Amino acid sequence: MPEQKSRMTRRTVLGAGMAGAAGLALGIRPGRALAAGSGKTLSLIVFGPTQQALEWLKNTALAEFTKQTGYEIEVRPSNWGSGFQKLLTAVASGTLADVTMLGQVMTPALMSRGAFLPIDDRLAKWDDTKKFYPAMLKDGTYDGKSYALPIYADVRTSVYRSDILQKAGVGPDALPKNWDDFKAVARKLSTKNGGPLETPFFSNQDNSVGLMQTFSMMLYQAGGSYFDESGKAQLSNDAGVRALDYLVSFYKEGLANPNVVYQGTGPRPLVLGTSAMTYNSVTVQQNAVEYKPDVEKYILAGPPLAADPGGKPSTIAWINKFAISARTKDPDGAWALLSYLTSRDISGKFAEIWGGLPARTDLSGAAYLKKVSPGFVEATQYAGALPTSPNLLQIQQQVNIAMQSATRQSGPSKQILQELDKKIDQINGK
């Protein structure tokens, strides 16, 4: 999914013990309210919260913020599905909340409309700025200016069913590190070669943009990118063709099936055991907890792959963020809220409850991550982000359509990507 859905898993424990420390993250002495904030109100939009998440946010995190600053916070919860349209409407009508949560696709589209306040001057004076993963911090920029701070991320990497891999003689200490090794494991698992599975690799076909996400990771691993320096699409260059050829090769060799589509509910193919390899995130582990708890211990995150032996591993993170409305009447108060939400203790708890990985390097050892397969956390250091194009929503849909066609072997990769480049340039007016 472009934005990670909130999920309260059986592993999630809501705690209130960190409230005092969270308040101190503001640099405000306990019991002293900011004179400017006393009696004032700020509004906050959050997407995808469960009822438990809202209770923590209101009764613990924001209650402490109110205690420390005097600001009362009006929380406006929403679901991800209708979120983008709600934000577009709010921007047009001038009713955007003082601080707004954003998903990957929403961010560049709204930044390009002048919806948010630049925060470069504040970031330059804030000690915590250097404590975010650089790629995630960069994802909150547009046209050379910073507008948003990351709160948590859906980091992708190679994911396996360790119990099924062992049937093919692959142990947890021998996980693939490059494309050739990954394909070799898929072949060992195939029934064609005496393995246990008809389709070992699941490339995330779903009713959203799962195939686009898988291709994008392979594109980055091949050293490619979506656009050249002039902003024109370049998926049909050598790196893009190599990435698509690699993706399609799983289907040509019968190691993946274009008719296997995850419908968005129920156990995923990896959790079901109908596949044993995929490119995905901690959401696979969460899916196991929700639908087949006995399988969770077998969900194993491996290192992000490199295209070549000895090459640089690479992957992608879908990064959710917070930004300040350009029309806020209280930019100082809004910054106080934004910096509080993205402070170490609060953002760590936020990531845990919303079901993602921390965006800060000083949270790599967070207690809740002990229940997460370590490979997911380790992959964070290799994670980049999709380009901050204001038309990313339309672009990713076109890419996904092209990938669906490619996996059914409808034509040469070069031709499919050349046609895709033309469509993307049309969307971008190039």
Distant-in-sequence, close-in-space partners of 294: CB < 8 Å, separation ≥ 6? none
Token reading at 326: 């350009």
Average pLDDT, whole number, for the chain? 90
Residues facing residue 76 across a β-bridge: 45
For the stretch 204-229, what's the b/e string if a residue is b when 16 or more beta carbons lie within 10 angstroms of its beta carbon? bbeebbbbbbbbbbbbbbbbbbbbee
Task: For 347-356, write each residue's pLDDT tens digit.
Answer: 999 999 998 9
Decide if pLDDT at 35 tops 80.
no
Task: For 264-273, write each residue's pLDDT tens digit.
Answer: 889 999 999 9
Task: For 243-287, write each residue's pLDDT tens digit.
Answer: 999 999 999 999 999 999 999 889 999 999 999 999 999 999 999
Decide if pLDDT at 13 tops 60.
no
For 79, other C-beta atoms within 10 Å of its C-beta total: 12
Mean pLDDT of 145-159: 96
The answer to whether residues 358 and 364 touch, using CB atoms and an 8 Å cutoff, is yes
Q: Where do the H-state alpha helices sit in 25-132?
A: 51-56, 62-69, 80-93, 106-111, 120-125
Sign of CA dihedral 352, 353, 358, 363: negative
For 267, other C-beta atoms within 10 Å of its C-beta total: 17
Helix (H) or strand (E) holding 336: helix 331-341
Dihedral angle, C-alpha 114, 115, 121, 126, nearest 10 °: -150
Decide if pLDDT at 156 tops 70.
yes
Sign of CA dihedral 363, 176, 4, 93: positive
Instruction: Give me the domains of the chain, ranges plus CATH numbers.
Output: 19-154+317-384 (3.40.190.10), 157-315+388-428 (3.40.190.10)
Mean pLDDT of 205-230: 95
Count Cα neighbours of 368 within 13 Å in the Cβ-side half-sphere: 23
Task: For 95-123, write each residue's pLDDT tens digit.
Answer: 999 999 998 888 888 999 999 999 999 99
